[in-house]
Structure 1
């Protein structure tokens, strides 16, 4: 670069307050539907972790108006700001957007004793379908699993890409390794409209893949955050594909589960009563049987009178006459001779 041009740029940086050593990055241009929301990530260098960050509105930095700051205020109207020093990114969320919110904005890091550092972007709010949009800006997967993002756009102009913010990109029609994860991009035409969809699949996820990405189509970009968690014992590979069909299936499954639960609740009471009745019957039967056995045990044995032996009833006696007196002699039970008269 010519020396005089470099000098002019330094003067312009000084006049506008813009540092000539930018270490902040973000998307360049996003399109949002009226009434919708958007979250803008602003990445910064490690040395800015403890600095104050702020969100400023205006085409020129010199005259931009501060909306929110990470110290105060963190919320103003429908706009809020938060700072994640571990990921080195501060995010700004704008809700319930209207056409009046269409403008240029700045991600800025405040620095002491020197010019602040920042970068600008453009936000366009449209009453119709945005030129580039996604169903959701948050994706969640597990280590070793996969996630799928659908980026919708209305025109074929420009190349479709998927990029790691602050890193490299993958173009349509390519399947490559991006930061250790396999990424595949497929472009398809939508059946219901004349638009198109860019299907991005990331598989073989790692914890290091957690971070901000963006869909690109021409000059437009849409930021998307991917969170990778450790799998639980019951969790397997997760593929997230936002669609109306999936949401309908979820609702159907929830209704089916509710019906099954209601049926179980209806059957629970009579089944419980039946179990109690059977238990009471068994206990009563055992008690009656035990009582009957005890009564039979306490009763004395039944002894019947046996008929006497005729031979045992015979009595043998000896009678003798002494001096005119009749004397009865005690019978000898062992003498078989019958008594004779004198």
Structure 2
């Protein structure tokens, strides 16, 4: 009995040392980014997790911690405590970013770490996907294409679960069909998606993997309304509402009596604009008329009156009293208005 307990204790210790699951090797292009998932056991949910850089475990250096983000932004880390997975993202990769460890910090004891390697190349990676993060909808299917350049055996796996290696299989009850339509493209189709299918997967070719994160969610609801065109003599119409969600499409037909009508509200804006234009034009005419009258009044006030005096000298007459001349002078005034 004592021997059995000792063996069980040793097994638990060894399991603790290997309590993290992650990829082993990933091929990635220089200058790009890569996200690596690290699965840990449930007893480490509240522990600090971190990424350690370096090939030798004893001499690796901290890159980023869940309680201490990297201010440079080169390294990012997040912890999904519902799935017991923390994810590290490495940006702007260079050929110097090759050796890392996913690590869980252990209080009063040695930390637990799992090593993975990055193969950073300037050309096309030997194994890659179109998108590392994809979204599928409940009840529907999702297709993932894994591009590869080697001829090794391909498989589709879920992190910490089983793999599909043949033409079809099941992962946690979800059907996965795989085929090689193109010699260099390994295609995976997952059907009948469920919410619990969300998580990290990977394509694998030999010892090289490429992680893919799948999010399964409800499909957005869309509503489409169409009205059938009818002649002017028609009195009915049909309205169709289509609602798509959870793989179900419902069509509702509604018949409504209607007649052609004219909405006077549509004339409010044009009439307002027209009224404003008329008011402005009347105001301009008023100003022009006022200026004209003012000019005429000024001209009248400045008119000059000319007076002309004329002298009329009659012929000399002899006065019966002698030689004295008598002359009559008449004054007349001529006024001219300007």
1:159 aligns with 2:150: no
Q: Distance in 2 between matches of 1:76 and 1:189?
A: 41
Structure-2 residue corresponding to 1:44: 40
How far the C-alpha of 1:231 sits from its partner, in A, is 3.1
Cα displacement string for residues 267-323 of structure 1 (whole angstroms, at most 9, x for unaligned residues): xxxxx999529x98xxxxxxxxxxxxxxxxxxxxxxxxxxxxxxxxxxxxxxxxxxx
Equivalenced residues, count: 223
1:141 pairs with 2:129: no
How far apart in 1 are the matches of 2:135 and 2:159? 17
1:53 aligned to 49, 52, 68, which one? 49
* Structure 1 stretches lacking a partner, 5+ long: 1-9, 191-195, 239-271, 281-342
> 1 CA distance for matches of 2:63 and 2:43?
24
Preserved contact between residue 28 and residue 120 of structure 2 (Cα < 8 Å)? yes
Label 1:115 to 1:142 Cα distance change in 2 as closer, same or farther (>3 A).
Answer: same
TM-score (norm 2): 0.61
- Which residue in 1 is equivalent to 2:202? 214
What does residue range 1-342 of structure 1 map to in structure 2 within 5 Å?
21-101=17-97, 103-156=98-151, 158-171=152-165, 173-189=166-182, 196-234=184-222, 235=244, 276=267
Q: Shift of the alpha carbon at 1:75?
A: 4.5
Q: Comparing both chains, which one has the higher relative contact order based on Cα–Cα distances under 8 Å and sequence gaps of 6 or more?
A: 1
Partner deviation per Cα, 1:228-274 (whole Å, 9 max, x = no partner): 11234335589xxxxxxxxxxxxxxxxxxxxxxxxxxxxxxxxx999
Query: Which stretch of structure 1 is more off in the superposition, 69-78 or 45-54?
Result: 69-78
Please give the alpha-carbon distance, in whole angstroms, between the structure 1 residues aligned to 2:45 and 2:71: 20
Larger strand share, 1 or 2: 2
Assess if the C-alpha contact under 8 Å between 1:19 and 1:118 holds in 2: no
User: 1:221/1:82 Cα in 2 relative to 1: closer, same or farther (>3 Å)?
Assistant: same
Alpha-carbon RMSD: 2.6
The one-character-per-residue Cα deviations of 1:155-206 (angstroms, maximum 9, x if unpaired) are 11x21000010000001x421222111100011336xxxxx00001001001
CA distance in 1, matches of 2:73, 2:217: 33
Question: How far is 1:98 from its partner?
Answer: 1.8
CA contact (8 A) 1:170 1:176 kept: yes
**1:67 to 1:230, Cα distance in 2 relative to 1, 3 A:** same
Cα drift, residue 55 of structure 1: 0.4
Aligned equivalent of 1:286? none
Is the 1:23–1:117 contact (alpha carbons within 8 Å) kept by the matching residues of 2? yes
Normalising by the residue count of structure 1, what TM-score does the alignment of the two structures yield?
0.61
SS at match of 1:133: strand
Conserved 8 A contact 1:186-1:200:
yes
